[in-house]
Each structure stands twice: as structure tokens, then as C-alpha cells.
Amino acid sequence: MGETLKLDCSGLVCPMPVAKTKRMLNNMKSGDKLEVSGDFYEAGENIKRFAENHGGKILVFKSEGDNYYLEIEKL
């Protein structure tokens, strides 16, 4: 079982949440999971798109208003 890391991007707008997610994913091993949350909806969508295109599998994507939450598994 891989490690689970958390990243809180509250208060950040693009491109910072995507950049922080990218940095964390680059340092993770295959099978590790990253939980990302924040309060700028567009960033959640951008993180989801980035992860899907760069070696991540979206396990959970939830949004309520501007708040978002993702669980990403590194492939």
C-alpha cells in the first residue's frame, strides 16, 4: 500500500495549485495517493485535467461551490 499525502491549496489561485500538485506528484512513487483541496473551483478542474494527462488517476473529484477535493493516485 502506498503513502497518502495531503495538499491544501486554500487561498491560492491558478497557476499555483497546479504547480504545487505537479511538484508533489513528481516526488511521489507509483501507488502513492495525493489528497488535494482548495477553495478556487477553476483550480480543481485544472488539477484534475493536469493529473489525468501526466500520470495520475483521479479516484475522487468533488466540488461544492468554489471548494474542491481530489484524490489522485500516481500511476
Give pLDDT tens digits for 33-73.
999 999 999 999 999 999 999 989 999 999 999 999 999 99
The set of cell numbers assigned to 14 is 491558478
When computed from its CA atoms, the radius of gyration of the chain, rounded to whole angstroms, is 11
pLDDT surpasses 90 at 1: no
Examine the residue annotation and report whether 9 is marked as an active-site residue of this protein.
no
Pick the catalytic residue from 4, 5, 8, 14: 14
The set of cell numbers assigned to 49 is 485535467
Q: What is the CATH number of the domain that holds 20?
A: 3.30.110.40
Domain count, the chain: 1
Q: In terms of residue numbers, what domain contains 44?
A: 4-74
When pLDDT is cut at 50, 70 and 90, the band that residue 18 belongs to is very high
- As a whole number, mean pLDDT of residues 16-28 equals 97
